[in-house]
Amino acid sequence: MRPAATYGKALMRHAAIAFRHGWRYDGAMKLDPVSLRLFVAVMETGAIARAAEREHIAPSAASRRLAELEARLKVGLFERSNRGIEPTHAAYALLHLARGVLNDLDGIAAQMRDFGAGLRGQVRLAANISAITQFLPDDLARFLVQHPQVDVRLQELISSAVARAVAENAADIGILSAEHHGGDLAARLTLLPYREDELVLVVPAGHALARRRQVRLADALGHDLIGMHPGSAIHQLLQRGAADAGQPLRLRMQVTGYDALCLMVAAGLGVGVMPRVSAALYRQQLAIRTIALDEPWARRRLALCVRSIAALPPVARELVEHLQGGQGQNSEPNQPPDQ
């Protein structure tokens, strides 16, 4: 648990940032968590009505609270028009501050409420699907056996969204593809090594390429592809690889999960690219084969992502150290090679 002095320092840091954005404390200002939560909801949903529904208050009451918040801060947070609302620069600055303050308040409430039950810490973790399907289940299971008092809240996001969630204080720790973490956010993030994985080509059992032990991406581009959704790291790699090969990317469909990709491939609808360890989960149940990709980008680095190690709560630092301690376990678990 962080001592009261730590929370005091955090609030002073938030206040210093607020002053730099032109906000002034007038002695009568009272910022309540309900209004801050509503403000964050408006920023995340993009509409007052949707935010009001999420926070279970009337839209008229939500509008009034936002107006009162702007009056107390003496700064405009939204430009209003008949097309809706548009956040100002001050709103984006307040979003980072509000999330930090609300997270601190939630931490105090959760630790006090659950102290008697042994729950003494919470970590917000955002990770891409490759980390979640290959490494995180075992890593988190071992961590929680050692730290049963910790509550880890895991959210699946694409790598660029993981980077943004950590940079904007919506997550404490992220796991993403090191090569696709959003260049504009790099200066606000610290990357630490986590694991390596290998991308392979997945084909139906009777496919023309099924007997090959290794292929180039160009060999697969003549076939229909089952792709991952736009914005995913694998989709970007395929786009770049197809451009380098001077061939079109024949995407028959795009899916959001590796299970759907394997099912579509097994049905003979195309071929796909995914991590070897993830494919191994489905290879014994579905009529699919995995083939090594002879491409420099087929071996990827997965990285841990934080704003600052020093600024992490102690329990989050313990999770980072635990995740880094498992770097040697990258092999495919108990799966025979394709014949």
Domains and CATH numbers, the chain: 4-110 (1.10.10.10), 120-326 (3.40.190.290)
- By CB atoms closer than 10 A (0-12, 13-18, 19+), residue 200 is buried
H helix or E strand, kind and range, residue 191: strand 190-204
Phi and psi at 22, nearest 5°, equal 90, 10
Residue 292, CA atoms < 13 Å, CB-side half-sphere: 8
User: With 80 as the cut, is the pLDDT of residue 83 above it?
Assistant: yes
Q: How far is CA 97 from CA 12, 14, 114, 301, in A?
A: 11, 6, 26, 31
Give the end-to-end CA distance of the chain in Å, rounded to a whole number.
53
Using DSSP's 3-state secondary structure scheme, residue 272 falls into: strand
Dist CA 274 CA 227 (whole Å): 9
Residue 128 to residues 26, 92, 165, 178, Cα–Cα distance (Å): 44, 25, 12, 11
Mean pLDDT, rounded, for 100-121: 67
Give the mean pLDDT of 27-55.
87
Locate 151 and state its tokens.
Answer: 């509550």
Is the CB of residue 193 less than 8 Å from the CB of residue 304?
yes
Write out the two tokens for 132: 């979640």
- State pLDDT tens for residues 176-218: 998 766 567 777 899 999 999 999 999 999 999 999 999 999 9
Mean pLDDT in residue range 154-158: 94
**Taking the CB of residue 5, how many other CB atoms lie within 10 A of it?**
8
pLDDT score of 183: 62
Task: Kindly state the greatest CA–CA separation across the chain.
Answer: 75
| pLDDT, average across residues 247-268 | 95
Average pLDDT, integer, range 244-250: 92
What pLDDT is attached to residue 335? 42
Q: What is the pLDDT of residue 178?
A: 87
- Residue 186's pLDDT is 76
Angle ∠(157,227,304) on CA atoms, nearest 5: 30
